[in-house]
Structure 1
Amino acid sequence: MMLATLRSAASWALDRVLPPRCVGCGMLTGAAHSLCLPCWQALPPLLDPHCPVCAETLPLGTFEGAQCGGCLADPPRFAATRAPHRYDGTARLMVLALKHGARETLATPMGSAMARAAGDWLAADTLLVPVPLHRSRLGSRGFNQSAWLARAIARHGGMLSLDLLIRRRATESTKGKGRVARLKEMTGAFAVPPAARAQLKDRHVILVDDVMTSGATARACARTLRRAGAASVKLLVYARVAPDRTLLHL
């Protein structure tokens, strides 16, 4: 917590000493957490059509509401996924600046975009639960970017953001691994502490993360939340990794 406080203080000080610049192109902007107009307009939207459950990009011509093969074959415990952006271009730079640059001020515009994407999901009786970091990663980084986003979203909907999940073990990077290996790595990685179960019982939950890649982390978190008593789980992320659409037709 001390490290997080120091990093936030340093970020706050830099925002006031140095001229604020656009995360996308470096142009001077009027606010520390702003994009310039061209970069804001260039934020890549989520591609349509996409699976309503996991937001996986589907081939052009797929009928509306169709699910991807992965969700049909192995339905996740989250009911739906929404994301304002595709993980590319300026949206990718925003995520990297938030996560690796400790730019907490970016959580405000990113959370606003996520709140707009969530739309009618946001309700006072719904809980926002961020995807947790393992204590070793939290100690080295000093903050959980998903918790920053969840708190920003909560301010829009008059909702509670609660850290009801813990990561029981430090998981290895799943980059480059296949779907089965990713799912196996995340099996049993998360838990709901006994003291938190009463807050979760029969509640509708929005699971919050910065990026969704394969969905293995979200699947494991949603499974844990449902087993602990959540009535339903939906997934809200800032950006969804999407393949090159031209490859879907090869």
Structure 2
Amino acid sequence: MGVRVVDHALRLALPGRCAFCLAPGVAGQPWCSACFETLPWNLPACPCCAEPQPPGALAGRRCGRCLVEPPGFDRTRAPLRYQGEVAALMRRFKFHASPRAGSVLLALFTARLTLEAPPQALLAVPLHPRRARARGFDQADWLACRLARRLGIVLIRARRRRDTRSQRGLDRRERSRNLRDGFVVDRPLPLRVALVDDVMTTGATLNALAVACRRAGAQDIEAWAMARTPG
């Protein structure tokens, strides 16, 4: 039975159920209180790149890498760590195009989202058109479209200059080289923007997009990811 069929059946048969243990959900959310509390929340983490920090690390302090080599974005919101149930949920969303998994990830992200000065525009990390056609699903664009609609923020699309090789298996420096000058924004941007991706691993992809956004006029740039891969 396909993932889409299973998702549809679950939504019909198990309304208000936790996506992780199928217990009754809390206040209409797709999780129960026990699972929500035990998810791998990304705390403590570097406020700039969201790199998970060891227990006891001072909250709000940038990691050594960001102090020595600041990224192109100013801060990151990545509330979860790519581990355990979150990693399984992400795989169902990214590789099987599961709308239920994507909706749960969005709900978890927005549950921890507080915006004192909301961005004026969202930009998804774009796939190259050839890669998007082959995959049949652009997960970052899917997330960004729904966040933009939910938050009432305009969505602006960037594009890839070339079909870069996959980042999988590359180290931090190789990832940066692979994506250097890899993105372009064809219109002027407002001062405050947020960049949206599903998973942040080293931050190289979001950094490359942030560089393109600064060239287009953005001055305050946030990176938004549903989850952060531990180093």
Superposition TM-score tier, normalisation by shorter sequence: 0.7 to 0.9
1-structure distance, mates of 2:136, 2:127? 10
> 1:87, 1:211 within 8 Å by CA — same for their partners in 2?
yes
1-structure distance, mates of 2:211, 2:116? 20
Structure 2 equivalent of residue 180 of structure 1 = 173
Structure 2 equivalent of residue 47 of structure 1 = 43
Scaled by the length of structure 1, the TM-score of the pair is: 0.78
2-structure distance, mates of 1:22, 1:159? 29
Deviation at 1:34, TM superposition (A): 4.0
Structure 1 equivalent of residue 199 of structure 2 = 211
2-structure distance, mates of 1:114, 1:215? 18
Deviation at 1:185, TM superposition (A): 0.8
Deviation at 1:113, TM superposition (A): 2.2
Residues 1:111 and 2:106 aligned together: yes
> 2:19, 2:104 within 8 Å by CA — same for their partners in 1?
no
Within 5 Å, which residues of 2 pair with 1:7-86? Answer: 11=4, 15-16=8-9, 19=13, 24=20, 34=30, 39-48=35-44, 50-86=45-81
Structure 2 equivalent of residue 153 of structure 1 = 147
Within 5 Å, which residues of 2 pair with 1:87-106? Answer: 87-106=82-101
> 1:84, 1:114 within 8 Å by CA — same for their partners in 2?
yes
Percent identity of the aligned residues? 37
Secondary structure in 1 matching 2:162: coil
Q: Which runs of 5+ in 2 are unaligned?
A: none
Structure 1 equivalent of residue 184 of structure 2 = 191
Q: For residues 97-126 of structure 1, what are the alpha-carbon distances to aligned partners after superposition, in whole Å with 9 as ceiling and x for unaligned?
A: 111111123333322322233311563x61
Structure 1 equivalent of residue 223 of structure 2 = 235
Q: For residues 180-219 of structure 1, what are the alpha-carbon distances to aligned partners after superposition, in whole Å with 9 as ceiling and x for unaligned?
A: 11111110111112xxx13x1x331110111000111011
Within 5 Å, which residues of 2 pair with 1:130-145? Answer: 130-145=124-139
Deviation at 1:136, TM superposition (A): 1.4
> 1:54, 1:215 within 8 Å by CA — same for their partners in 2?
yes
Deviation at 1:139, TM superposition (A): 0.2
> 2:7, 2:98 within 8 Å by CA — same for their partners in 1?
no
Scaled by the length of structure 2, the TM-score of the pair is: 0.83
Structure 1 equivalent of residue 212 of structure 2 = 224
1-structure distance, mates of 2:126, 2:35? 30
Matched pairs, number = 224
